[in-house]
Amino acid sequence: MKKVITYGTYDLLHQGHINLLRRAKELGDYLIVGVTNDNFDRERGKLNVVNNVLERVEAVKATGIADEIIIEDYFGQKIDDIQKYDIDIFAIGSDWQGEFDYLNEFCKVVYLPRTEGISSTMLRNEKHKTIRVGIVGCGLIAKRFVPEATYVSGIEIVGVYDADNAIGSNFATSNNIANNYTSFDEMLQDVDAVYVATPHLSHYEYSKHAIKAGKHVLCEIPLVLTEGEAKELYSLAKEQGTILMEANKTAHCPAFNHLMVMIKSGAIGEVVDIEASLSRLLPDRKRREFDASQAGGSMYESAVYPLLPIFRLLGTEYTDLHLYSRMENGVDIYTKGVMKYPKAVCSFKLGLGVKTEGNLVISGTKGYAYVEAPWWKTNYFELRYEDLNMNKKFFYKWDGEGLRYEIQEWISCIINKRHSNARLTPKESIAMARVMQQFTERKNFSEI
């Protein structure tokens, strides 16, 4: 049996792709198609890919041409795959002429003619309308958002609004943004979407107002502090046909997502314990983070991060949660949470005035995953086993501030009208707000 392998992104699958797949299939008896994963696309600078990897795999599968579909994860994988699958022919489009001649050492390389007059880039340009975005709140995180957005196709920041007009004016000028609006309603008239980067307690009102105006919303963490408000916002967004997304950068980090996929696939067996920690020592106690009237404290500031791997891997239906906090002036400078699931237990530690090791350990029946600090900016993790020879290390690139990943996913959801994001679902976001509410109400709470 003659085996053929080909690779591609297959974004916005079109007739050109189908023609190429058919030509590759005609070269042999069995066709393996490698689809690039989202992380690999990003590493190659492809932040403008419209369809995520699952959508692209399904599109290729639907053609009925491929006998087998695999995921391309890393540079150099083609050689590994050719040897692993005992490939006879490597086929690729003629626009890559000469680029893969080095593979002739391992199999025959064939460059296939492309279909003239059609490409993913052309379709992407036709499909992509530019999403006009307004920024609400001109603090530190908004300063990071502006340069990160330049790495994403299909977004234009057209203006800002801040309750302090002078701050908004300075921000717009220093970031070369055309408009500094004097009212939120004025800005909503000019934009398609809003990035909410205001203090915690104003997230609900700004997000709700924007959604009711038919605007898409990317809201900084935490989205809201009560389960009811979170449910209301997601329900309202669904009714309005708008995209609401919580801006949890770790949820869209390529390495973190690869880790989650590997663990869900059984790489360490059944998960029985998760330990996640995140802490910072902030010496200036006059900052907003230490102001009880502005929802300061380690829980409101950081809990969404350690809750993410817990909810991703074990779901949101925990049976019990106990919270233990060190309080100062009405805010928690340290909180530890212990969560019970039917067949697992989890813990998370948060600190603003207490320092702890900021790692992530996920324990399973076959091994465990270790992510060193700061795990919420995952660029490296290990899978460790009883047999040390089985241990594996995985290295990734973390680009810039990491916000570009969540921005790209938000814009992709808007363009493709995807109302539920698989990397941080509304259900998970609502469950995070439920945890915040439990802390606020001091249920199952002990002060230490």
Fold assignment, 128-247: Rossmann fold (3.40.50)
Domain spanning 3-123, CATH class: alpha beta
Phi-psi domain of 55 (left: phi exceeds 0; alpha: psi -120 through 50; beta: other): alpha
Q: Which two tokens stand for residue 381?
A: 């993790």
Residue 446 has pLDDT above 90, yes or no: yes
Per the CB < 8 A criterion, the answer to whether 237 and 217 are in contact is yes
* Rounded Cα gap, residues 31 and 170, in angstroms: 58
* Rounded Cα gap, residues 114 and 131, in angstroms: 31
Q: Where are the domains of the chain?
A: 3-123, 128-247, 251-447
* Rounded Cα gap, residues 335 and 331, in angstroms: 10
Give the mean pLDDT of 49-77: 86
Per the CB < 8 A criterion, the answer to whether 363 and 271 are in contact is yes
> What single letter denotes the amino acid at residue 60?
V
* Rounded Cα gap, residues 336 and 306, in angstroms: 11
Residue 179 has pLDDT above 90, yes or no: yes
**What homologous superfamily does CATH list for 251-447?**
Dihydrodipicolinate Reductase; domain 2 (3.30.360.10)
Query: Crossing angle for the helix pair 227-240 and 203-212, nearest 10 degrees?
Result: 20
* Rounded Cα gap, residues 408 and 406, in angstroms: 5
Two domains, one topology: 3-123 and 128-247: yes
Residue 46 has pLDDT above 50, yes or no: no
The closest of 217, 259, 212, 220 to 236, measured between CA atoms, is 212
pLDDT at 398: 83
Per the CB < 8 A criterion, the answer to whether 213 and 188 are in contact is yes
User: What's the residue count for the chain?
Assistant: 448
pLDDT at 125: 54
> What single letter denotes the amino acid at residue 348?
F
The closest of 275, 272, 266 to 307, measured between CA atoms, is 275
Q: Radius of gyration (Cα) for the chain, nearest Å?
A: 24
Residues 209-222 pLDDT 10s: 999 999 999 999 99
Residues 141-173 pLDDT 10s: 999 999 999 988 889 999 999 999 999 999 999
* Rounded Cα gap, residues 35 and 142, in angstroms: 34
Residue 122 has pLDDT above 60, yes or no: no
The closest of 191, 141, 135, 124 to 163, measured between CA atoms, is 135
The closest of 40, 93, 33 to 63, measured between CA atoms, is 33
* Rounded Cα gap, residues 125 and 153, in angstroms: 10
pTM beyond cutoff 0.85: no
Residues 184-209 pLDDT 10s: 999 999 999 999 999 999 999 999 99
Residue 75 has pLDDT above 90, yes or no: no
pLDDT at 42: 56
Model confidence at 50, in pLDDT bands (50, 70, 90)?
low
pLDDT at 282: 82
